[in-house]
Structure 1
Amino acid sequence: MTNPAIAAHGLRKSYGDRTVLDGIDLTVPEGTVFSLLGPNGAGKTTAVKILSTLIAPDADSGQVRVGGHDLATDAQAARAVIGVTGQFSAVDGLITGEENMLLMADLHHLSRSEGRKAAAGLLERFDLTEAAKKPASTYSGGMKRRLDIAMTLVGDPRIIFLDEPTTGLDPRSRHNMWQIIRELVSDGVTVLLTTQYLEEADELADRIAVLHGGKIVAEGTAEELKQLVPGGHVRLRFTDPAAYQHAAGALDETTRDDEALTLQLPSDGSQRALRSLLDRLDTAGIEADELTVHTPDLDDVFFALTSTGSVPAQSKETVR
C-alpha cells in the first residue's frame, strides 16, 4: 500500500479538558470503503472534519495526509481532491435541484457550459432529472440525500467523506444509497464512511475501525471483527433420533436440543476449527443431516467493544 488515499498517524483533538480523539491511526487504501463505526460522541464526526480540513487537529498530532497531501502544509491541494457529505443536508430548499447543482458548479469555478453539462449529467445519474426544476424543499429524504451527494460530485473528487449519509432514510432509500456508494467505488473513488448502522458497515466496508472513547479499539474486515467476540458455534441437525443420541454421547462440550435433534458446539468458524470438527465427526462415524456455522454479527462486536470493561482481550493488531 504505497499510496494510501488517507493516512493519519497519532491524530489528536481536544476541547479544553475533553479529549475527543486520542492518537488514532488510520490508513485507507485508494478505491476502497473504510468505515468508522462507533456510538454517539465517539469522535467519528470530529475525525471527518479534521481529515476534510474543516477543523485543525491538536498541535501535538502526528502527520495527516489526504490524497498524498500533508494537511499541515498543503491543505488547499487536499481540498481539491475531496468531497464531503455531512450528517445534515447541504441542500438549499428554497431553490431547485438544478439550481443547487449550478451553484456548486460556480463554487468550483466551472464555466457556464461546463457547469450545466456537469449538473445535467449528475442529475440524470442520480435519477433526479424529472425533479430538477422543482424546489428542493419538495424532495423526499432520499431525494435530498441523492442531490446532496450529486452536489458533492460536481468537483469530481477522488476521496469522499460520507458522515452518516443514510441517517433518517427509509430502508429502500438506504439500499439505493448503498448502490450509489458501490458505483462510486467501482469508478475508483475512495470513501470514508461513518455510520451507526451496523448492517451498513457490514454491507459496504472493505475495512472497519471501531472508535470508542477517542481510541480505535479494533480494526479489520467485518469477518475479522466478528471473530473477536465469543459466541460462535457449529450446529448439527439430525433427523434420526438414534444418530442424534450417538453424536451427543460421542462429542464433548455440546449444547443439546432434544426436541429439535440439534447439537451446538463452540467454534470460531475458522477453516482450521471446521476441519478439526469434521475430522472428529468422521472418526466417530457421525453424519449429521445438516451442518451450519454461526458467527457473531457486528451487533455483538459493537456492544462488546463499546461497553465499559467489555473490550475483548484481542487487540486490533490481531486483525490487521
Structure 2
Amino acid sequence: MTLEDTTGSAGGTTPPQDDYLERRALRRGSAGWLLLTGLGVAYVVSGDFSGWNIGLSKGGFGGLAIATVLMGAMYACLVFALAELSAILPTAGGGYGFARRALGTWGGFLTGTAILIEYILAPAAISIFIGDYVESLGLFGLESGWPVYLVCFALFIGIHLWGVGEALRFSLIVTAIAVAALVVFALGALTDFHVDGLNDIPVDGEAFGANSWLPFGLLGIWAAFPFGMWFFLGVEGVPLAAEEAKDPVRSMPKALAISMGILVLLAVMTFFAATGARGAAAVQEAGNPLVVALQGDGEPTALSRFVNYAGLA
C-alpha cells in the first residue's frame, strides 16, 4: 500500500478503496431475480403513463421516435455495463460505489450527487402526473393536484420505512397491475389506430429539415431527448438493491436484462398505440395521455377509467 492510498490532499487520511468496499459488505438478502426485475420495471413504468408524450410537442412523432431509439440504446449499454459491474462488485452503493472504486472519492461524490438529483426530481414529476390523473377522474372533488403530491410522498415514505423487502413485494404487485393496464390499453387503443394520426402535428416551415414526420426539423430530435428517456429512466437504480438480493452475482444481471427487455416492449407498444389512436397532436401536452388517447374529449369509458386507476397505482 502506498502513501497515496492512505493520505488525502489536506494531510488527512482516506480509507483505501478495498477497505471502503469491505466495510460495506452486503448482508444476506431475501430478494430473488423476480423481485429485482419487478423493481426495475417499477422504477420506470410510470413513465409510460405520462411524461414521454411531451416530446411530441418538441420533435413530433419522428423526432421523439428517433430520440427514444437513441436513449434506449444508451440505457441498454448502461444496463449491461451495470449488470457486469454488479456481478463483480455487488455493493449497495450502485453507480456511486462503482464510480468511487474506479475514479476515487471525488468521482464517487459527483456520480452520487447526479444520482440523488435524478431520484429527487423524478418522483416530483411523477407526483404531478398522478395529480393530473386524479383530476381527470374527478376524485374527491379535487380541482388541484397539490394535496395528492403530499399524500403520495407520505405513502411512499411510509412503505419504505416499513421495510425494503416489503416495499419490493408491494412494488411487484403494483407493477404487475400497471403492466397489465398498459397491455389492455394497447389492445383497446389499437382498435382505433390510424397511421395518419402519427404525423398530424403542423409542420414548422422555418425549421431546418422539417417534414410531416419531423415537424420541428432535425433540432426537434435533440429537443425530444429528455422525454425519450422517460421510457427507461430509473432502471439503473436496480443495483442499489444489491444488499436485498439473495445472490446478487447471478440475480442482478438477470434482473437488469429482463427489466430492459420488458421496458422496450412496453415503450414500443405504448408509443404507437397512444399516438395512433387519437393523434400525436391530441396527446402531445396531456398530463394523462393514455386516457386522452382512449376517450379524447368525450365521456369516460370503462376502459379509460380502468387505465386511469391503474395509472394512479
The two structures have a TM-score, normalised by structure 1, of 0.21
Query: Does 1 or 2 have the higher relative contact order (CA < 8 Å, sep 6+)?
Result: 2
The two structures have a TM-score, normalised by structure 2, of 0.21
Question: Per residue, is there more helix in 1 or in 2?
Answer: 2
Question: Per residue, is there more strand in 1 or in 2?
Answer: 1
